[in-house]
Amino acid sequence: MQTPPSFKSFLGIKFWPTWLGLGLLWIIVWMPFTVRLKTGEILGLLTYWLGKERRYITEINIALCFPELNEHEKSRLVKNCFLENGIGLIETVTGWVRKKEHFKEQVTLIGLDKLEQAQAKGKGILLIGGHYSTLDFSANLLSLFLPFGVTYRPNRNPLFNAFMLRGRLSNCNGVFDRNDIRGAFRHLKQGKTLWYAPDQDYGPKHAVYTSFFGKQAATITAGSRFAALNDSPTFLIRHHRINCTRQYEIEFIPFPDSFPCKDELKDTTVINQMLEKAIRHYPAQYLWMHKRFKTQPGGKPNSPYINIKTPNHRLTESQYEQVIANATQVSELEQVHDYKLPSGLWLKQYPGMISKRFFQKHPAKIFDRHAKDLRMQGIQAITVDNFFRIPRMKISAVTYFVPEGPLLSQLPQNEIPLQSLAIFMAELHNKGFDSSNPGPDHFSVRDNTFAIHDPTDFVFHRSSISLKDRRNTIIKLLKNLNLGKTEGDLFFSHYAQAAGLSVSGTD
């Protein structure tokens, strides 16, 4: 169980902004309910407009999970998610600061009698929940009727984490770091109640791929293992604020008698199905800002979250040497080195430093940005995994995934699928992409399907590509492929048909 550090250890200047934020929240939570609600909505609205990446993640999640909604309904749900999470922040701090007894009349418990009957077995109770905006405030209300322990993920801000930990310890009889599985297991074995939320993506380790809202999601298996450990009765816990009123509803839904069945895939499927049903009561109150579908078989190239910030790491010279240890150098051009790493990733090394905030014109940033532009439009391309900057060596690097298949430059000329390449070029142009000098090293091909191996020269134009620019680009490509007039005319013919244009030949 966690023990919070003393607030005296957070008096340094670097913590003053956090203290200011906590002070403002402390004032707000003593305001009347309607003021707290409106303040939360304003915070949510600010986050909606300023948090572009979180808004993008939420938009992707809503589009994936609610395909039956039209565009207006999806946009409204996305905005409501931010409003609800802003309210949730105010509710959370309210529960940590004010006496919970003050809010006892605002909660309705459903199914508590079934939970109390199961408690009599003495095997502990497992409550499986989700990350709703009402999570902490509902936990405060529940602690008025039932003692329980929780698992949690520490906040990166140490002062806010200490504040959060104190608030949760005031309402729980056990607070366990999410990595302290043994501590949580002991809590259950002692016949106590444990509240656990397995609905976030923690990577492929200890997870299986199962359906969540009809989409494949990496789902941690600890929920199944917790239930099997002590044969503990398991309940889904659903909690929501009712229509933005003062009332909160907490429901305990027993899992089927067949749970757990010692089949982790089946168990996690049951958990996700029950969570989905609960989330649909008030979908805006769920934490859709989380990258729930980030981990996919095949890694980052299959993640739906394309247009998010690429991690930027600072490395020492020795750390960078470890990264490229046993790598195979593939090419070198104008101080840019390409390596193939033992992991299967590729690495491109550039002179000069990639700043975290500036140097948007650094070639490594252009490489990443153009690849994202292509993938956002449904064009297969490389996927940048990480940026690295090595100050002592005054160099930067990117690691990236390459699409499967050889480069065109590696194929004999008579094996290049010209018709498929013409169709691919037409797709690029129709979607607004053009290249100043496309060559065989720019493209990879597998089963007649093309991908962009080097996106640097492919620029996205918001206006359509002119007929003249299309023709010039294709002539350059045909020249770089060393194709004759007959093949060139055939290529133009296939291109024109795919693009829906009338394009003359190579003369």
| 3 state SS of 322 | helix
The residues that bridge with 399 in the sheet, in sequence order, are 347, 386
Q: How confident is the model at residue 336 (pLDDT cuts 50, 70, 90)?
A: confident
Same domain, 462 and 317: no
| Structure confidence at residue 181 (pLDDT) | 83
115-119, 243-247, 372-376, 443-447: the lowest-pLDDT one: 243-247
Contact criterion met (CB below 8 Å) for 417 and 493 = no
Residue 453 lies in a domain: yes
User: How far apart are the C-alpha atoms of 438 and 289, rounded to whole Å?
Assistant: 38
Same domain, 231 and 121: yes
- The residue out of 371, 401, 431 marking a domain boundary is 401
Same domain, 374 and 453: no
451-481: pLDDT as tens digits: 999 999 999 987 778 999 999 999 999 999 9
DSSP 19: H
Would strands 328-333 and 336-340 be described as parallel, antiparallel, or unpaired? antiparallel
Q: How confident is the model at residue 179 (pLDDT cuts 50, 70, 90)?
A: confident
Residue 429 lies in a domain: yes
Same domain, 189 and 205: yes
User: How far apart are the C-alpha atoms of 378 and 260, rounded to whole Å?
Assistant: 40
Q: How many other C-beta atoms can be found within 10 angstroms of the C-beta atom of residue 282?
A: 21
Same domain, 197 and 68: yes
| Structure confidence at residue 350 (pLDDT) | 93
43-47, 132-136, 354-358: the lowest-pLDDT one: 354-358
Structure tokens at 386: 């990480």
- Amino acid identity, position 52: K
Same domain, 271 and 211: yes
3-35: pLDDT as tens digits: 778 888 898 999 999 999 999 999 999 999 999
- Amino acid identity, position 143: S
- The residue out of 370, 401, 432 marking a domain boundary is 401
Q: Is the pTM of this model over 0.85?
A: yes
- Amino acid identity, position 374: L
Residue 5 lies in a domain: no
| Structure confidence at residue 68 (pLDDT) | 97
Same domain, 324 and 228: no
Percent above pLDDT 70 for the chain: 97
Structure tokens at 456: 């640097």
User: How far apart are the C-alpha atoms of 164 and 319, rounded to whole Å?
Assistant: 35
More confident residue, 181 or 39: 39
Count of the separate structural domains present in the chain: 3
Contact criterion met (CB below 8 Å) for 229 and 126 = no
CATH number at residue 373: 3.30.200.20
| Structure confidence at residue 1 (pLDDT) | 55
85-102: pLDDT as tens digits: 999 999 999 999 999 999
Question: What does the angle CA 192 – CA 276 – CA 77 come to, to the nearest 5 degrees?
Answer: 120
- H-helix or E-strand spanning residue 399: strand 395-401
Residue 49 lies in a domain: yes
Same domain, 228 and 315: no
Where does residue 156 rank: exposed (0-12), middle (13-18), buried (19+ CB within 10 A)?
exposed
Residue 304 lies in a domain: no
| 3 state SS of 249 | strand
Give which of 265, 274, 130, 294 is closest to 204, Cα–Cα.
294
| Structure confidence at residue 217 (pLDDT) | 96
Same domain, 47 and 138: yes
Same domain, 210 and 331: no
Largest CA distance in the chain: 88
257-314: pLDDT as tens digits: 999 988 999 999 999 999 999 999 999 999 999 999 999 998 899 999 999 999 999 9
With tokens 């089963």, the residue in question is 447
Taking residues 200-219, report their average pLDDT.
Answer: 93
C-alpha dist (Å) from residue 22 to 42, 93, 141, 171, 236: 17, 9, 22, 19, 32
50-72: pLDDT as tens digits: 999 999 999 999 999 999 999 99
- H-helix or E-strand spanning residue 236: strand 234-241
CATH number at residue 485: 1.10.510
C-alpha dist (Å) from residue 468 to 299, 422, 428: 40, 17, 15
- What residue numbers bound the domain in which 351 lies? 309-401
| Structure confidence at residue 506 (pLDDT) | 47
Taking residues 223-227, report their average pLDDT.
Answer: 88
Contact criterion met (CB below 8 Å) for 347 and 402 = no
Q: How would DSSP label each residue in 254-310? A: EPPTT-S-S-HHHHHHHHHHHHHHHHTTSGGGB-TTS-TT---TT-GGG-S--SSPP
Same domain, 227 and 149: yes
Residue 294 lies in a domain: no
Residue 472 lies in a domain: yes
385-420: pLDDT as tens digits: 999 999 999 999 999 999 999 999 999 988 899 999
User: How far apart are the C-alpha atoms of 249 and 257, rounded to whole Å?
Assistant: 25
106-115, 172-181, 435-444: the lowest-pLDDT one: 172-181
- Amino acid identity, position 85: N
Give which of 85, 56, 52 is closest to 304, Cα–Cα.
56
- The residue out of 344, 372, 401 marking a domain boundary is 401
Residue 299 lies in a domain: no
User: How far apart are the C-alpha atoms of 205 and 228, rounded to whole Å?
Assistant: 19
| Structure confidence at residue 358 (pLDDT) | 64
User: How far apart are the C-alpha atoms of 132 and 107, rounded to whole Å?
Assistant: 16
With tokens 């589009």, the residue in question is 63
| Structure confidence at residue 357 (pLDDT) | 67
Mean pLDDT of the chain: 91
| Structure confidence at residue 507 (pLDDT) | 47
Same domain, 484 and 338: no
| Structure confidence at residue 305 (pLDDT) | 97
With tokens 């990258």, the residue in question is 291
- H-helix or E-strand spanning residue 428: helix 418-430
